[in-house]
Amino acid sequence: MSRNDASTASETATESEASGSGGATAEAADSTVSADDPLVEVRDLRKYYDDDGFLGDDPVKAVDGVSFDIRRGETLGLVGESGCGKTTLGRTILGLEDATGGEVVSDGRDVARLSGTQLREWQRDAQMVFQDPEASLNDRMTVGEIVREPLDAHDWETASERRRRVFELLDLVGLNEEHYYRYPHQFSGGQRQRVGIARALALEPEFIVLDEPVSALDVSVQARVINLLEDLQEELGLTYLFIAHDLSVVRHIADRVAVMYLGDIVELGDTETVYGDPAHPYTLSLLSAIPGSHTGTDRDRVTLRGTPPSPRDPPQGCRFATRCPAKVRPDEFDDLSGTAWERIDALHTVLRERANTETGLTERLKRRLGLAADASDIDEVVADLFERDPDVAGDGSARNDLLTESARSAIEDAVQFARRGEDEEATAVLRETFGSVCNHERPERHAVGDDGRVSACVRHTDEYEDPRSVVDRRFADD
Amino acid sequence: MAADGADANAGESVDEAARADGGGDALLAVEGLTTVFHTDKETIRAVDDVTFSVEEGETLGIVGESGSGKSVTARSILGLIDSPGVIESGSIRFRGDELTGDNWDAHRGDISIVFQDPSNSLNPVYTVGNQIRETLRIHQGLRGQEAREEAVRLLESVGIPDARRRVTEYPHQFSGGMRQRAVIAVALACDPDLLVCDEPTTALDVTIQAQILELLDDLQEREDLAIVFITHDMGVIEETADRVNVMYAGEMVESAPVGELFDRPQHPYTRGLLASIPGRTVSGDRLPTIGGEVPTPTAEATDCRFADRCPEAFDACERVHPEPVRVGPDHTAACLLHEEGYDHDLDSEARPAGEPPDGDAVADGGDRA
């Protein structure tokens, strides 16, 4: 059953690819990169939170130099792991957060810098629907008051007109007149989300940011809300920025999808092309993690190790380098096996985590006094990784061939630092020795295919093998 | 904490009769389990006459929407039902020993549970190692150096690198995925035979979810664990379970091996549930939906609880409560469509053709207060 679905899906994918390339030639004639009319243009947008800690900590770079367009009438999906900055990006575009840098342009206005009347205007044109319908509706107001609130705030028409408008809105989202006098707690989750949507529609916006609008709902209710959103878009000509961590929902609803990792968009393209043939190594791993057989990809799972690094201290170079399954490896270590690299990466992760641990005062004091027992534990970690083979029980010598001479000495250097508790330096040694272009350069966006897709990975240049085949090869190794 | 804190009294209070029965080969046999919650207004039958069993080394998936009684089933198995809830009737047997009637102590430590939210399952003021050692002391009597070594080994076994150092850290120093690994380590510290996982990956990102599912798979193979895996996510069920039970309004409406259930769902609810998952339909199409909502069962069922949402319901569905019937090898469904003697074909054609059973948006907006 699901296999049939998958093949149908891929057929549709090829179809849309074909029409996409046709569109590309038409666009070429127009001599613009994107003939589509952008509603919102985001340029190098940044949002840093610095909490003014007395230790002078680095700011949290929630959104760090993001650029993309939202086209009029489309649904742009925005996906990524929690903490990658999806929500902050959505809020900053709407002006709910002050941008640290960059601009958001709509109809010639930089909406990130608006104030006064112009800001009010933008706030009418752009609305937001929040994730948690429990938390985003005021329990002391009736549904009618909640939906009317934006109309009141913007002094919309007369009081009786507002009232009429509210009834109209309730009807639009599939609620009815009697719900006007009810309180949110009398509603189910799906109905509450409908109230949230009605409120967002009150001022006839063009653009709505939907922040995980169906994540808190059961699957059967979720399906109805998704259908409602699609109907409304068609009826009212809305433009959506649809933020979600559920990749299947995004595949269903979005025309294009942007994949975000640690404050930046790493891949952006037509939904079916991205899902059918992901270009960026992160997209590839993320999509392969969707459980179940209905994903339409028959590929092996690429399980990412660890969690995304802290946005306070993102890795230099490519942000994804610390977890990337297709990271460029230096030529001089060409002869190291897949297992060896895996172990080296594991050691690197351990050291990095040690370096980043926020240690309490007592812990620091203990370390000063040499009372901390953990500085020498690194030997055990190294032994586990490189000397003992967990697959060959009790045989200590089985792993001597794992590392080459130069690799071994570099690791020895790093361990020297780690023994003295100098984890930063230890990490630096590993990064210097085993690092590559991925650790030094922030990758540029490259066009992939001919339908306007972009992906930020050095492997899209001719110099390197493409991510897909590298991942396939490396995962076939093990 | 993941493992329940009560002291492990040696189990002498085992029900003799239950032992005599033997209870078949199943590791866990649940029969006619009914768990109710008494409130001022009404009695809610959260789990209503549910029967299933779990074999050694098997993963049983329980799937359903919120309010279907999945979690109450899990808590009932562990004996974690507190007032106003009570197990009204039915039996829960572990290795043939009856657990209901307050005999859980007999098998304390043989059954462990992992909850949804790892942040709430760990005590923030104790180190992770401390919490693992507590369980080790209670359930395995390990103390001192021995317990410390075992705690490190457990953390390593759930895939936490640098375990010797991590064991001295507090839960807030762990990431979400790491925390769930630590919770699993605590659950494993009592050396269970059965691990009940109640939505263990729902609070996690899909990449971390993949790691945890992989870990559970490994552990099952290594330690020969039986797992009861509760989730609302059909994709996760498809990947983890050997058998699947579908719950609806407190009842088990369908049960089948995982492949069979996904290829040939026999209950209209299961079919609706599978169809409404985005990604299974070609994108651009409207998602098929089920109208209405899961009802809260307050009285013993005299009809089919799904009838008023069911696209295939007919007259008799309002009058007769369907019992589970065999619809294939090792496959049961509780639906009158599969029972002889009901003239349902005529009735279902009598429905106005082409009318969707739910009316979509309006159904959700209906009067429920």
Would B3 be classed as within a structural domain? Answer: no
Q: Please tell me which residue of chain B has the smallest CA distance to A378.
A: B162
Classify the complex by whether its ipTM is higher than 0.90, answering yes or no.
no
DSSP B306: T
B139 and B121 within one domain: yes
Q: How many domains does chain B have?
A: 2
B282 band by pLDDT with thresholds 50, 70 and 90: low
A350 interaction partners in chain B (CB closer than 8 Å) = 161-162
Q: Please tell me which residue of chain A has the smallest CA distance to B273.
A: A220
B286 interaction partners in chain A (CB closer than 8 Å) = 227, 230
Give tens-digit pLDDT for B31-71. 999 999 998 889 999 999 999 999 999 999 999 988 899 99
Question: Which of B65, B210, B277 is opposite residue A303, by nearest beta carbon?
Answer: B210
pLDDT of residue B249: 94
B292 and B191 within one domain: no
CATH code, domain carrying B334: 3.40.50.300
A235 band by pLDDT with thresholds 50, 70 and 90: very high
**Minimal C-alpha gap between A384 and chain B (Å):** 10
Task: Count the neighbouring beta carbons within 10 Å of the beta carbon of residue B13.
Answer: 14
Q: Please tell me which residue of chain B has the smallest CA distance to A183.
A: B369
Judge: B365–A230 Cβ closer than 8 Å, yes or no.
no
pLDDT of residue A375: 54
Q: Are A258 and A79 in contact (CB under 8 A)?
A: yes
B232 and B91 within one domain: yes
Query: Between these two residues, A220 and A464, which has the higher pLDDT value?
Result: A464
B219 and B273 within one domain: no
B214 and B307 within one domain: no
pLDDT of residue A5: 43
pLDDT of B82 over the 70 cut:
yes
B151 and B293 within one domain: no
pLDDT of A25 over the 60 cut:
no
pLDDT of residue A51: 64
Would B104 be classed as within a structural domain? Answer: yes
Would B259 be classed as within a structural domain? Answer: yes
B263 and B229 within one domain: no
Question: Which of B207, B234, B282 is opposite residue A286, by nearest beta carbon?
Answer: B207
Q: Which of B241, B258, B281 is the last residue of a domain?
A: B241
pLDDT of residue A348: 86
A418 interaction partners in chain B (CB closer than 8 Å) = none
Q: Please tell me which residue of chain B has the smallest CA distance to A179.
A: B367
B185 and B103 within one domain: yes
B253 and B132 within one domain: no
A249 interaction partners in chain B (CB closer than 8 Å) = 278-279
pLDDT of residue B31: 95
What domain range includes position B78?
A: 16-241
Best-predicted range by mean pLDDT (A16-20, B54-58, B176-180): B54-58
Which residue in A79, A66, A67 sits closest to A33, CA to CA?
A67
Would B230 be classed as within a structural domain? Answer: yes
Would B6 be classed as within a structural domain? Answer: no
B235 interaction partners in chain A (CB closer than 8 Å) = 248, 290-292, 294-295
Question: Which of B206, B279, B293 is opposite residue A289, by nearest beta carbon?
Answer: B206
B73 and B108 within one domain: yes
Would B159 be classed as within a structural domain? Answer: yes
Give tens-digit pLDDT for A378-406. 777 887 788 755 444 444 444 556 788 88
> What percentage of chain A exceeds 70 in pLDDT?
82
- Does residue A303 belong to the interface with chain B, where contact is any CB pair within 8 Å? yes
Question: Which of A81, A248, A249 is opposite residue B205, by nearest beta carbon?
Answer: A81
**Minimal C-alpha gap between A414 and chain B (Å):** 16
The CA radius of gyration of chain A, in Å to the nearest whole number, is 26
Distance CA B200, CA B230 (A): 8
pLDDT of residue A340: 85
Domain span(s) for CATH 3.40.50.300 in chain A: 36-254
A346 interaction partners in chain B (CB closer than 8 Å) = 161
Question: Which of B234, B281, B364 is opposite residue A174, by nearest beta carbon?
Answer: B364
Mean pLDDT over the full length of chain A:
83
Give the pLDDT mean for B93-107: 90
B232 interaction partners in chain A (CB closer than 8 Å) = 218-219
Q: Please tell me which residue of chain B has the smallest CA distance to A308.
A: B175
Q: For A36-254, which CATH superfamily applies? A: P-loop containing nucleotide triphosphate hydrolases (3.40.50.300)
Task: Count the neighbouring beta carbons within 10 Å of the beta carbon of residue A168.
Answer: 13
B206 and B279 within one domain: no
Question: Which of B164, B213, B361 is opposite residue A291, by nearest beta carbon?
Answer: B213
Distance CA A27, CA A35 (A): 6
DSSP A237: T
Residue A75 phi, psi (nearest 5): -110, 115
Q: Which of B241, B272, B296 is the last residue of a domain?
A: B241
> Is the alpha carbon torsion for B319, B321, B326, B331 positive or negative?
positive
Would B1 be classed as within a structural domain? Answer: no
Judge: B361–A227 Cβ closer than 8 Å, yes or no.
yes
Work out the burial of residue A271: count CB atoms within 10 Å of its CB; fewer than 13 is exposed, 13-18 middle, 19 or more buried.
Answer: buried
In what helix (H) or strand (E) does residue A453 lie, and over which residues does it extend? strand A453-456
Which residue in A192, A290, A309, A203 sits closest to A246, CA to CA?
A290
Would B2 be classed as within a structural domain? Answer: no
B62 and B89 within one domain: yes
The CA radius of gyration of chain B, in Å to the nearest whole number, is 22
Judge: A358–B211 Cβ closer than 8 Å, yes or no.
no
Distance CA B186, CA B160 (A): 13
